[in-house]
Amino acid sequence: MSALTKQSFYLIPLLYLFWISIKFNFKTSLLFAAQLLLLVAVYFFWIGSITTYDNFIRQTTGETHLSDLLQTGFKNYIFVPLSFFGALLLGFFVFVAFYLKVKKQASILTITAIFKWISYVLFATAIVFCLVKKIEFASRIAFVATAFALIYYLEFQFKNLQKAMPIIVLLGIAWSSSISLGYQFPIFFATGIMASFFILTGNSLKLFSKLYFWIALPVCLVALSYNYRPYREQNIFDLTHSLENISPKLKYIKTNKTNFEKYSELKQLIEKYGDNFIVAPNIPMAHYLFGYQSKLPADWLIETEVARSQKMFIRLASDKKNYIFLEKSFLQHEEYMPENRAEFSSISEFIYQHFRCIGQTKHFFIYHSLKDNEALP
pLDDT classification of 334: cutoffs 50, 70, 90: confident
Same domain, 91 and 206: yes
Among 40, 63, 86, residue at a domain's last position? 63
pLDDT in tens, 44-69: 999 999 999 988 887 777 777 788 88
pLDDT in tens, 336-360: 788 889 989 999 999 999 999 999 9
Same domain, 276 and 210: no
Give the per-residue pLDDT at 323: 96
Q: Is residue 375 included in any domain, yes or no?
A: no
Among 63, 84, 114, residue at a domain's last position? 63
Same domain, 166 and 221: yes
Give the per-residue pLDDT at 2: 60
Q: Is residue 377 included in any domain, yes or no?
A: no
Same domain, 96 and 29: no
Same domain, 78 and 222: yes
Q: Is residue 235 included in any domain, yes or no?
A: no
pTM of the predicted model, to two decimals?
0.74
Backbone angles phi, psi at 355, to 5 degrees: -90, 165
Q: Is residue 376 included in any domain, yes or no?
A: no
- The rounded distance, in Å, linking the Cα atoms of 257 and 242 is 10
Is the pLDDT at 217 greater than 80? The verdict is no
pLDDT classification of 79: cutoffs 50, 70, 90: confident
pLDDT classification of 109: cutoffs 50, 70, 90: low
Give the per-residue pLDDT at 107: 55
Peptide bond between residue 281 and the one before it cis (omega within 30 degrees of 0): yes
Is the pLDDT at 207 greater than 60? The verdict is no
Is the pLDDT at 244 greater than 80? The verdict is yes
Same domain, 85 and 216: yes
Same domain, 13 and 134: no
Q: List strand residue ranges (DSSP E) for the chain, in order.
A: 241-242, 254-255, 277-280, 323-327, 355-360, 364-370
Is the pLDDT at 136 greater than 60? The verdict is yes
pLDDT classification of 211: cutoffs 50, 70, 90: low
- The rounded distance, in Å, linking the Cα atoms of 31 and 80 is 43
Instruction: State what percent of residues in the chain have pLDDT above 90.
Output: 42
Same domain, 337 and 281: yes
Q: Is residue 208 included in any domain, yes or no?
A: yes
Residue 181 domain boundaries: 66-228
- Return the minimum-mean-pLDDT range out of 128-142, 157-171, 205-219, 345-359: 205-219
